[in-house]
Amino acid sequence: MQIGFIGVGLMGGPLARNLIRAGKNVLVFDLSEEAVKRTLAVGTTGKAAAAVADLASCDIVFTSLPLPQHIKGVVLGETGLYAKMRKGALHIELSTIDPGAANEMRAAAEKAGLGYLQCTLGKTPAHAEKAEEPMFIGGEKALYAANEDLFKVIGIPSYVGTVDASCAVKLISNMIGMTNLAVLAEGIKVGDKAGLDRTLLLELLSDTGARSFQMDVRGPWIAADDYNPRFGLDLALKDVRLGLEMARAWDLDLKAMEAALVYYKNASAEGYGKEDCNAVAKVVGK
């Protein structure tokens, strides 16, 4: 089996490396030569592709790219990958995208005689590197079943049903997480005004209903004014925006998350987009 992998950055790179570590034949493409070199360094069964078109003969092609338009630009249209792939091949899409974009690609893949699975990811690049990444997979169940063992090589797969469901799980997770982070930042800001030491405040809150994943992970970073990028603020903004676009399309008015979106937009506008998403703390309370 020949596997293709397009996009080997923070999230795609670890997953591609897991395939190579397992001895799978993987053809890798990325605009960053450094990312490709880092991915191929873990084994001998990976090779670099000179162009996206080189992956047309692959049995399975994974994509892990920043935005929906990037993925659609690669696979759709007369010059896209779908027009060149062999009948019966499979596209597995790993990015955080909206259901509309995912279903557009699913329909185009089916028209071209290809399979399509949406596989959104639940945790961090560190989890992905250890093959501990939760994977929320949607699409035709028979396609999932036929490739379940491959998914287990690169992460912890869960079949969630439809393509819509796969997209929604990740977007819901990120909307809740980023809204929690904004609320945490607000709480820390109030603590500052009260004269509370940030580290002490977090310690006291950790045994209350205020505790959350964001408090445990990013609370200490905010307390130390550490905004080094682990998950960039602009990426968080993109995910919250896509999630709310999804919710609005389903006639939902999510007021708390809409308020959080404004914070992330403001933080990006003030130049914090390349910092960690906890840099939202720099604009709360203004």
Give me the active site residues, please.
Answer: 170
Report residue 88 CA to chain centroid gap.
26
Helix (H) or strand (E) holding 146: helix 141-154
What is the spatial distance between Cα 119 and Cα 170, in angstroms, rounded to a whole number? 9
Q: Please tell me what DSSP assigns to residue 129.
A: H
Q: Are 186 and 217 in contact (CB under 8 A)?
A: no
**Tokens representing 232?**
């960039």
What is the spatial distance between Cα 60 and Cα 190, in angstroms, rounded to a whole number? 51
**Tokens representing 71?**
């993925």
Helix (H) or strand (E) holding 90: strand 90-93
Count of Cβ atoms closer than 10 Å to residue 211 Cβ: 14
Amino acid at 223: A
Residue 92 bridge partners (DSSP): 62, 117
